[in-house]
């Protein structure tokens, strides 16, 4: 009999326990093992060399934080059955199982606007058949449909264990200390109110504000860093270009599974699509980009060299959209410099916007001493939440580095 109640050493949280055998079985499954080959932060390691951690890391960390949160709630008198504990831990363990290569950048490309959550659900249902319905409660929680609301909120809300793990983990691996939140302190402040919803003890308000500001800094400093935004944009452009060239009859080398998606027309997903998707990871895309550097198509070859040799286009960031004339001028110089006529493919404006805290969508509630709950941004004690309810937008103009010295 194999011992499935193992302990895993994690650089961020220390030792992670696997308290139920079914968790171990899911971790061992090929669908889950694939996450070892999918980076948590796409091409971020081009900017932050340490950011090479994977979705596999993150899923285990989120499962650990879920276990810690449930233990905390039990100590505060919240009744949680073993089945519910298993369900919540399974749901968070599998929440990213549908992520494709390079995560968000390629979702829309490969699967015709399929969101990873839709794919995660499909794969969870397949696993549920394999495990004779043992994942049914987990799936209900993942979809936010479980009758005890706080379980759904721990999996997905503005203060869920998914965010708690990826902020701390991404901060650790990028070395950006502004994102380093105190997950233990935040979790120790969690509670459940009479309505059965997740709340935070009022005295934990500053830990929550710190979490929200940390998330905001991580977005602007890391995820939406102008070079990060550029790298993600390039990946999408590379696959779009490859798909376009193939539709025009060009032969492009690629691994069998990637080729399948590049040749695939628009249609609803079949069993074969899903089976092939679970065999696709970052390596397929990196391999393709390495080969496509030598493509006869100037645009595809240019983009792939940019990524593989890390000779990235130049970027300028602004709080306002760029003047059309500036963009036209860059396109004109690009055409002249390279002797091409499709320079517009190499000049783009990228837009990134962030609402750090949404007061409408699942607001965070504070539990006061008198047992009543209050919205975070309405508390007299809040220092920063009131400033985080506005959307910020940044515009990034990218163009070939080769022409940066020719600017008029």
The full set of domain ranges for the chain reads: 6-224, 227-312
| pLDDT value for 111 | 62
Other beta carbons less than 10 A from residue 141's beta carbon: 25
In angstroms, the CA 240 to CA 205 distance is: 45
| pLDDT value for 308 | 97
Mean pLDDT, rounded, of the chain: 92
pLDDT at 402 over 60: yes
The residue assigned the tokens 């326990």 is 17
Summarize pLDDT for 30-61 with one digit per residue, the tens: 999 999 999 999 999 999 999 999 999 999 99
Question: Can you tell me the mean pLDDT for 15-23?
Answer: 96
| pLDDT value for 147 | 97
Give SS3 for 169: helix
pLDDT at 126 over 90: yes
| pLDDT value for 115 | 65
Question: Parallel, antiparallel, or unpaired: how do β-strands 190-192 and 392-399 relate?
Answer: unpaired
> What are 199's two structure tokens?
């709340």
Summarize pLDDT for 187-211 with one digit per residue, the tens: 999 999 999 999 999 999 999 999 9
Q: Which residues pair with 15 in a beta bridge?
A: 9
Q: What is the CATH number of domain 227-312?
A: 1.20.1250.30
In angstroms, the CA 260 to CA 121 distance is: 22
In angstroms, the CA 308 to CA 297 distance is: 16
In angstroms, the CA 408 to CA 406 distance is: 6
| pLDDT value for 407 | 60
In angstroms, the CA 187 to CA 180 distance is: 15
* pLDDT bracket for residue 385 (50, 70, 90): confident
Percent over 70 (pLDDT), the chain? 95
Summarize pLDDT for 61-115 with one digit per residue, the tens: 999 999 999 999 999 999 999 999 999 999 999 999 998 898 665 666 666 556 6
pLDDT at 1 over 70: no
| pLDDT value for 381 | 87
Domains 6-224 and 227-312 share a fold: no
Distance (Å) of CA 32 to CA 56, 59, 60, 108: 7, 9, 11, 21
DSSP at 221: I
| pLDDT value for 116 | 66
Q: What is the CATH number of domain 6-224?
A: 1.10.3210.10
In angstroms, the CA 114 to CA 298 distance is: 29
DSSP at 44: G
Question: Can you tell me the mean pLDDT for 133-160?
Answer: 97
Helix count (H) and strand count (E) of the chain? 17, 9
Distant-in-sequence, close-in-space partners of 280: CB < 8 Å, separation ≥ 6: 100, 101, 110, 257, 258, 261
Q: pTM of the predicted model, to two decimals?
A: 0.94
| pLDDT value for 283 | 96
Beta strands in 121-278 (DSSP E): 190-192, 198-201
Question: Can you tell me the mean pLDDT for 153-176?
Answer: 97
Per the CB < 8 A criterion, the answer to whether 8 and 19 are in contact is: no
The phi, psi pair for 369, rounded to 5°, reads: -60, -35
Percent over 90 (pLDDT), the chain? 80
């Amino acid at each position: 009999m194999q011992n499935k109640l193992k302990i895993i050493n994690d650089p961020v949280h220390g030792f992670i326990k696997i308290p139920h055998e079914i968790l171990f079985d899911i971790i061992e499954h090929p669908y889950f093992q694939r996450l070892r080959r999918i980076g948590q932060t796409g091409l971020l390691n081009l900017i932050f060399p340490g950011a090479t951690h994977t979705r596999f890391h993150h899923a285990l960390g989120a499962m650990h934080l879920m276990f810690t949160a449930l233990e905390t709630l039990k100590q505060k008198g919240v009744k949680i059955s073993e089945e519910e504990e298993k369900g919540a831990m399974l749901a968070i363990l599998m929440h990213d199982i549908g992520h494709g290569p390079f995560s968000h950048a390629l979702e829309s490309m490969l699967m015709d606007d399929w969101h990873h959550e839709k794919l995660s659900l499909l794969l969870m249902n397949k696993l549920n058949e394999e495990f004779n319905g043992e994942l049914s409660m987990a799936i209900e929680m993942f979809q936010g449909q479980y009758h005890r609301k706080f379980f759904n909120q721990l999996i997905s809300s503005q203060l869920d264990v998914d965010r708690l793990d990826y902020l701390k983990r991404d901060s650790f691996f990028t070395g950006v200390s502004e994102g380093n939140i105190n997950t233990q302190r935040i979790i120790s402040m969690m509670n459940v109110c009479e309505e059965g919803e997740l709340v935070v003890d009022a005295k934990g308000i500053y830990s929550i504000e710190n979490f929200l500001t940390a998330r905001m800094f991580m977005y602007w400093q890391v995820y939406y860093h102008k070079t990060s935004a550029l790298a993600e944009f390039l990946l999408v452009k590379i696959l779009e270009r490859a798909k376009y060239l193939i539709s025009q009859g060009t032969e492009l080398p690629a691994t069998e599974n990637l080729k399948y998606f590049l040749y695939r027309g628009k249609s609803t997903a079949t069993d074969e699509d899903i089976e092939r998707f679970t065999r696709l990871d970052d390596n397929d895309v990196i391999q393709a980009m390495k080969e496509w550097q030598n493509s006869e198509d100037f645009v595809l070859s240019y983009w792939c060299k940019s990524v593989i040799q890390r000779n990235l286009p130049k970027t300028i960031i602004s709080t306002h959209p760029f003047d059309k004339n500036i963009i036209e001028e860059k396109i004109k110089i690009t055409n002249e410099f390279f002797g091409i006529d499709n320079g517009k493919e190499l000049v783009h404006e990228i837009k990134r916007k962030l609402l750090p805290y949404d007061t409408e969508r699942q607001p965070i509630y504070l539990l006061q001493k008198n047992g009543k709950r209050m919205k975070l941004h309405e508390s007299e004690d809040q220092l920063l939440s009131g400033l985080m309810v506005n959307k910020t937008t940044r515009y990034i103009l990218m163009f070939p580095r080769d022409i940066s010295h020719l600017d008029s």
